[in-house]
Amino acid sequence: MVAPFETPAPRVPKAAGLNCPSCGAAIELHAQGWAVSVVCGACGAQLDATNENLKVLQYGERVTAKPRIPLGTRGTWKGAPWDVIGFQVVTIIVESTKYSWTEYVCFNPYRGFLYLSEYEGHWNVIEKLRRRPDREDGGDRPTVRLNGTTYKHFQTATAYTTAALGEFPWEVRMGDQVVSRDFVAPPYILSAEASGDEVTWSLGTYTPSEVIQKAFGLVTPLMHPIGVFANQPNPHADLPKRMLERFALALIALVLLLILNVTLAGNRTVFERAFTFSRAPETPASVTDAFELAGRTSNVAIDLESDLDNDWLFLALSLINESTGETREVTRQLSYYHGSDSDGSWTEGNRRESLRIASVPGGRYFLRVQAEGGEPAKSSASYTVRIRRDAPHYGFYGIAVLALLVPVVLSIFPSASFESRRWAESDHAPTASSDSDDDE
């Protein structure tokens, strides 16, 4: 984006005063010797600015459109003064709907012409190019390259002048038509206007309305932009990148915490025993010898491992404090099945499980194990119970990673939504192909 610089403006030659040959109204020529035509603000007549008598080129009607930047306003852009000398309304028709925008001609006798365009509060500062783009590629979605930047085709339409006031460096007439092709690479828009065999290229830079207001010293604020414009910068474009950077930092912190957790965790095996479960009726529960859970209050991990083969086993485990009788109960089902069918080999279930009891105080404990279930064809099953004190907790870190990923994923939607709204107004709207298919 080009920003204005507040520097003293050099002296600009005084405007020449003439009269309209159609209605006699006074006309000031700010760009005498540069302007090709001028439109009378009183009667709307288009006059030949190169003729000393201002020959009438076309009679018109009084223009009722009111410029947001009044003609004669002086502004400062890129350290140079510019007078607003011309104003026109340009219209295109898309699917029987008219869309109009305004264009302003700014003049500096030492630098030539500068142009502004405005559509529903969206402003562009435009400069005419002295050369064509480096390369233009066709196809369903053409692109052009200029100074190493690729511009995507946005829209092609026939534009015509519907109102004009002031001076212009070309012969302006009501109803003049050009075929306009716009290519965008926000914040820039590259436009080609073809009239007959002549093609003129220009480069526009999206500029916030408050910058235009300050540059031209306007007291009344310009209207707030409505909707999304073709080359309006996406305010959310960097959001996914920023969120991904924050996710990376948080992930590094989590990894460090995990390493610290694993390093400091005791993870001591305090009990291990193999059991055999017989499927005889009314099989009693097994009670283990007492074992010590030393140290401060911490977690207890119970690892289960079995030799199940197309079989299942349900275990109810009670960790009981020998002194207080306080009981902590957990249950888990082990199962493992395998086979093959028309789709190939398959397996289901797991012979191994691990569960955790949080915040178990130190002391002497014993374990009560009640096993049941199983396939009738299986007479018995073997399994091992292992108890670890102060085991590392990995599940928290997995949940934390998923939680941190949520804002990263969500950050994609604002940017994608903005781009969707942008291209919905183009010749390449996302629904265009489906609508075409429906029509067929």
Give just the sign of the alpha carbon dihedral 35, 41, 42, 45. positive
Domain match, 356 and 430 both: no
Domain match, 277 and 387 both: yes
Residue 225: Cβ within 10 Å count: 17
CA distance 407 to 401: 11
74, part of any domain: yes
Interior CA angle at 276 toward 274 and 279, to 5°? 160
2, part of any domain: no
CA distance 259 to 173: 76
247, part of any domain: yes
| pLDDT digits 0-9 by tens, 283-341 | 788 999 999 999 888 999 999 999 999 999 999 999 999 999 999 999 999 999 999 99
Domain match, 411 and 387 both: no
Task: Give residue 409's pLDDT.
Answer: 93
132, part of any domain: yes
| Ranges in the chain, pLDDT < 70 | 1-17, 281, 431-440
CA distance 160 to 179: 9
The pTM assigned to this predicted structure is 0.72
Q: What's the number of domains the chain is made of?
A: 3
Domain match, 434 and 355 both: no
Task: Give residue 432's pLDDT.
Answer: 43
Show the domain range for 82. Answer: 16-215
Task: Give residue 266's pLDDT.
Answer: 85
E strand map for 243-297: 268-278, 286-287, 291-293
230, part of any domain: no
Domain match, 247 and 299 both: no
Domain match, 413 and 342 both: no
Q: 176: exposed, middle or buried (C-beta count within 10 Å: 0-12, 13-18, 19+)? A: middle
9, part of any domain: no
Domain match, 167 and 211 both: yes
Domain match, 82 and 208 both: yes
Q: How far apart are the first and last CA of the chain?
A: 44
Residue 19: Cβ within 10 Å count: 13
Domain match, 289 and 184 both: no
Task: Give residue 27's pLDDT.
Answer: 87
Domain match, 64 and 91 both: yes
HEC string for 319-388? EEECCCCCEEEEEEEEEEEEEEECCEEEEEEECEEEEEEEEECCEEEEEEEEEECCCCCCCEEEEEEEEE
224, part of any domain: no
> What CATH number has the domain bearing residue 339?
2.60.120.380
227, part of any domain: no
Domain boundary among 391, 408, 423: 391
Domain match, 22 and 118 both: yes
Domain match, 409 and 375 both: no
